């Protein structure tokens, strides 16, 4: 598989991509053979839930979640309340929000060994398993079942309810199984998938809503997970049937008209195929299809679709516009929080299936930049839509394609916008922790994305091993792996070298080593013993990347930096959506970066670092690094309806309008620590 750079996100990037015949499915479509059914094992195998424990700043983040909304959503969000929840047999929420919450609360509970939270989430899982119908159908009691006293079966499948929320609960129950190996789970899944096989002709995926039809990959992924456990070939037949009844995402992603049309037609036609969260989930569909079929064309579809998406709709913080539609690459468009966490999950699945470091780099970029800036530090409030160049957080329509009359999509609130994100945001950090390690084909271990943690698992023939990963990454450049095991064990130990790092350094027990490096994966082969220490240094250079309207983003390592602005928070209340916060600043924000800085950023941008706080939070005051950059004000760059529309640079890369004579030194901090910022800057002389 070819490697691709993270393409600068301008329309010109899309035209450049059209010339890449190796990534253009049209070059091979005429010769393409019928779909094969040769199942391919993932390149990297996921570890059991709970085998990876967060440490350092990641543990601080996890504890914040457990103390606040993630650990208590059933108490503070009425839809998920135990008192009448449909997923506990009541007449309350029987849709997506309860499974969404569990999809993050379950991994968090087992990563922290939090017995209280484990007890909470297990009630919903136990009810779902114990109240599975004899036919295999499961989930909340339907209105028809209440009225008749009968249960849904294959003969009356139309009396059931939408497939979609059950897809999320499948993810929940599979995660629970990998943590507990509860012997009830595999028969439960086998029975449900048999029910689906028997009923999908009569009650297709899209019977009730377009949501299930647009998100069928979540169902396919669960079916194929079970196939890896029991090897039943009927499961692959079922997965293919679900694919055929669902949106044709692989073909859409692989054939470029879709992403181009989404840029120029943000109207009501086919909007479900432009809905940002649908797209985020769909990103993994080509690789899931590759896994089932062995057809490498699907890998081309995946790379083409993801790269095109970022070229035409991507933003500097690693996510694409999704407000709720795909909406181009201008940094004044919005991105939905659900789209962020679902993109993260899709990338985590794509990494395991393909082993492609391209997706590993993309995962870190989204996780460290787009995700933390969209929630409050206590993880109790969120923005439904965030804006890349965000100079205020307030009520208003802004430039979103879904401008609610209530004007609540941009504010920080628990239930602002739709409350789906309030339920779904919890999967972000726990699933990132869960994918810090994978098992490789040599029955060894691979650290493919980074963060402080301890992994305890087995290698070779069940030999127990622990590796403590000591690091403040992504806030510094050193990662230390300390091994704990009995005796010696021989296995390959792999580490990813990010695309942005051109001079990694490795030591083993204090001595320099030179591992085999192939496709950005460094492998150390040998016998490992107790107290072995591997140190990886990933020097982080300051660099500038090009984005919409010839703007520039300033980056260092995996972090994108934004203009530091003072924040004035104000609390308010909305009748139907409750408490919320707005944020404003009195500071000037209309700066352009000097052209000379763009030519030599490593020399001309000064880096200031501080010690990472042990009681870590994503707050401006705790930003552990800052960049000092020379810039000038652009007086005519003004807010329009609360938005900082970029002034147009000329083709030579400069802003041609009036620029202040005075040069000023501005401060940039990692955008994850900001609520207000400019991250895409014009260039001035």
- 152: closest CA among 96, 202, 206? 202
Give residue-wise pLDDT tens across range 480-530. 999 999 999 999 999 999 999 999 999 999 999 999 999 999 999 999 999
Alpha-carbon Rg of the chain, whole angstroms? 25
Give residue-wise pLDDT tens across range 123-160. 999 999 999 999 999 999 999 999 999 999 999 999 99
User: Could you give the CA distance from residue 203 to residue 207 in angstroms, rounded to a whole number?
Assistant: 6
Find the mean pLDDT for residues 362-368. Answer: 98
Whether the Cβ atoms of residue 150 and residue 206 lie closer than 8 Å to each other: no
Q: C-alpha distances in angstroms, 361 versus 22, 67, 187, 389, 566? A: 21, 30, 37, 22, 31
User: Could you give the CA distance from residue 414 to residue 597 in angstroms, rounded to a whole number?
Assistant: 41
Find the mean pLDDT for residues 334-363. Answer: 98
* Residue 259 backbone phi and psi in degrees, to 5: -70, -30
> How many other CB atoms sit within 10 Å of the CB of residue 248?
15
Pairing state between β 463-471 and 493-496: unpaired
Helix (H) or strand (E) holding 313: helix 297-313
> How many other CB atoms sit within 10 Å of the CB of residue 287?
28
pLDDT value of residue 16: 33
Give residue-wise pLDDT tens across range 435-459. 999 999 999 999 999 999 999 999 9
Domain 437-537 fold is Immunoglobulin-like (2.60.40)
Is a pLDDT exceeding 90 seen at residue 370?
A: yes
E strand spans, 590-637: 591-594, 606-609, 625-633
Of all residues in the chain, the percent with pLDDT exceeding 70 is 95
Give bridge partners of residue 343 from the DSSP assignment: none
Give residue-wise pLDDT tens across range 380-404. 999 999 999 999 999 999 999 998 8
pLDDT value of residue 27: 36
What tokens does 99 get? 């499974």
Extents of the domains making up the chain: 1-34+247-374, 437-537, 543-684
pLDDT value of residue 37: 60
* Residue 430 backbone phi and psi in degrees, to 5: -60, -40
Give residue-wise pLDDT tens across range 66-122. 999 999 999 999 999 888 999 999 988 899 999 999 999 999 999 999 999 999 999
User: Could you give the CA distance from residue 306 to residue 325 in angstroms, rounded to a whole number?
Assistant: 16
Banded model confidence at residue 556, pLDDT cuts 50, 70, 90: very high
Find the mean pLDDT for residues 243-251. Answer: 97
Give residue-wise pLDDT tens across range 40-57. 999 999 999 999 999 999
Is a pLDDT exceeding 50 seen at residue 6?
A: no
Task: Say what the alpha-carbon torsion angle 629, 334, 12, 18 is, to the nearest 10 degrees.
Answer: 130
Cis status of the peptide bond prior to 491, with omega within 30 of 0: no
3-state secondary structure 545-590: EECHHHCEEEEECCEEEEECCCCEEEEEEECCCEEEEEEECCCCCC
pTM: 0.94
User: Could you give the CA distance from residue 460 to residue 493 in angstroms, rounded to a whole number?
Assistant: 12
Banded model confidence at residue 36, pLDDT cuts 50, 70, 90: low
- 62: closest CA among 123, 96, 105, 23? 105
Q: Is the dihedral of CA 387, 389, 395, 401 positive or negative?
A: negative
Is a pLDDT exceeding 60 seen at residue 257?
A: yes
> What's the full length of the chain, in residues?
685
Instruction: DSSP letter for 210, please.
Output: H
Pairing state between β 412-413 and 382-383: antiparallel
pLDDT value of residue 269: 82
- 449: closest CA among 561, 555, 538, 338? 538
pLDDT value of residue 266: 73
pLDDT value of residue 9: 34
Q: C-alpha distances in angstroms, 534 versus 278, 383, 439, 510, 521? A: 41, 40, 18, 8, 15
Distance between first and last Cα of the chain: 41
User: Could you give the CA distance from residue 106 to residue 427 in angstroms, rounded to a whole number?
Assistant: 9
User: Could you give the CA distance from residue 272 to residue 562 in angstroms, rounded to a whole number?
Assistant: 32
Arithmetic mean of pLDDT over the chain: 93
Of all residues in the chain, the percent with pLDDT exceeding 90 is 89
User: Could you give the CA distance from residue 283 to residue 346 in angstroms, rounded to a whole number?
Assistant: 6
């Amino acid at each position: 598989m070819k490697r691709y750079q993270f393409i600068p996100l301008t329309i010109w990037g899309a035209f450049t991509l059209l010339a890449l015949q190796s990534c253009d499915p049209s070059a091979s479509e005429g010769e393409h053979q019928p779909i094969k059914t040769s199942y391919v094992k993932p390149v990297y195998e996921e570890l059991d839930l709970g085998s990876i424990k967060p440490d350092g700043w990641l543990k601080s983040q996890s504890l914040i979640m457990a103390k606040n909304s993630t650990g208590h959503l059933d108490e503070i969000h009425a839809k998920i309340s135990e008192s009448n929840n449909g997923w506990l047999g009541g007449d309350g929420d029987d849709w997506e929000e309860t499974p969404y919450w569990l999809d993050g609360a379950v991994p968090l509970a087992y990563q922290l060994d939090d017995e209280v939270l484990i007890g909470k989430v297990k009630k919903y899982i136990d009810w779902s398993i114990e109240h599975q119908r004899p036919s295999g159908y499961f989930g909340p009691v339907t209105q028809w079942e209440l009225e008749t006293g009968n249960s849904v079966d294959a003969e009356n499948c139309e009396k059931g309810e939408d497939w979609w929320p059950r897809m999320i609960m499948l993810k929940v129950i599979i995660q629970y199984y990998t943590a507990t190996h509860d012997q009830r789970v595999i028969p439960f899944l086998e029975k449900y998938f048999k029910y689906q096989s028997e009923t999908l002709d009569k009650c297709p995926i899209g019977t009730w809503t377009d949501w299930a039809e647009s998100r069928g990959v979540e169902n396919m992924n669960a079916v194929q997970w079970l196939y890896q456990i029991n090897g039943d070939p009927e499961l692959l037949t079922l997965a293919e049937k679900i694919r055929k009844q669902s949106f044709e995402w692989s073909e859409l992603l692989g054939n470029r008209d879709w992403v181009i049309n989404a840029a120029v037609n943000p109207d009501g036609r086919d909007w479900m195929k432009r809905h940002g969260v649908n797209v985020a989930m769909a990103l993994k569909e080509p690789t899931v299809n590759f896994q089932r079929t062995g057809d490498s064309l699907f890998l081309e579809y995946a790379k083409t679709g993801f790269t095109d998406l970022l070229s035409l709709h991507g933003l500097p913080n690693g996510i694409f516009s999704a407000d709720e539609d795909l909406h181009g690459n201008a940094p004044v468009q919005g991105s939905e929080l659900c789209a962020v966490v679902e993109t993260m999950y899709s990338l985590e699945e794509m990494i395991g299936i393909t082993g492609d470091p391209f997706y590993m780099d993309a995962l870190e970029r989204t996780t460290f930049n787009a995700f933390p800036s969209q929630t409050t530090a206590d993880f109790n409030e969120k923005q439904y839509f965030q804006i890349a160049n965000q100079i205020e957080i307030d009520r208003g329509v802004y430039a979103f394609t879904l401008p609610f009359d209530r004007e609540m999509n941009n504010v920080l609130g628990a239930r602002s916008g739709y409350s789906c994100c309030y339920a779904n945001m919890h999967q972000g950090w726990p699933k990132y922790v869960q994918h810090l390690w994978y098992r490789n084909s040599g029955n060894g271990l691979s650290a493919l994305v980074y963060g402080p943690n301890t992994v305890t698992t087995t290698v070779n023939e069940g030999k127990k091993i622990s590796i403590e990963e000591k690091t403040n990454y992504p806030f510094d450049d050193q990662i230390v792996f300390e091994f704990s095991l009995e005796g010696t064990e021989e296995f390959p130990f792999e580490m990813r070298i990010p695309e942005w790092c051109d001079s990694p350094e490795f030591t083993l027990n204090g001595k320099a080593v030179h591992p085999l490096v192939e496709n950005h994966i460094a492998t150390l082969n040998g016998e490992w013993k107790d107290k072995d220490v591997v140190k990886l240094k990933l020097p982080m250079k300051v660099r500038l990347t090009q984005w919409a309207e010839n703007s520039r983003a300033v980056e260092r390592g995996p972090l994108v930096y934004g203009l530091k602005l003072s924040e004035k928070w104000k609390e308010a209340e909305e009748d139907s959506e409750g408490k919320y916060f707005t944020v404003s600043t009195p500071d000037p924000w209309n700066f352009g970066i000097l052209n000379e800085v763009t030519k030599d950023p490593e020399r001309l941008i000064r880096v200031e670092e501080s010690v990472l706080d042990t009681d870590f939070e994503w707050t401006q005051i705790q930003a552990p690094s800052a960049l000092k950059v020379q810039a000038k004000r652009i007086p005519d760059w003004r807010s329009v309806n609360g938005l900082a529309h970029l002034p147009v640079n000329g083709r030579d890369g400069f802003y041609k309008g009036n620029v202040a004579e005075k040069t000023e030194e501005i401060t940039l901090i990692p955008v994850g620590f900001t609520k207000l910022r400019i991250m895409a800057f014009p260039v001035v002389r």
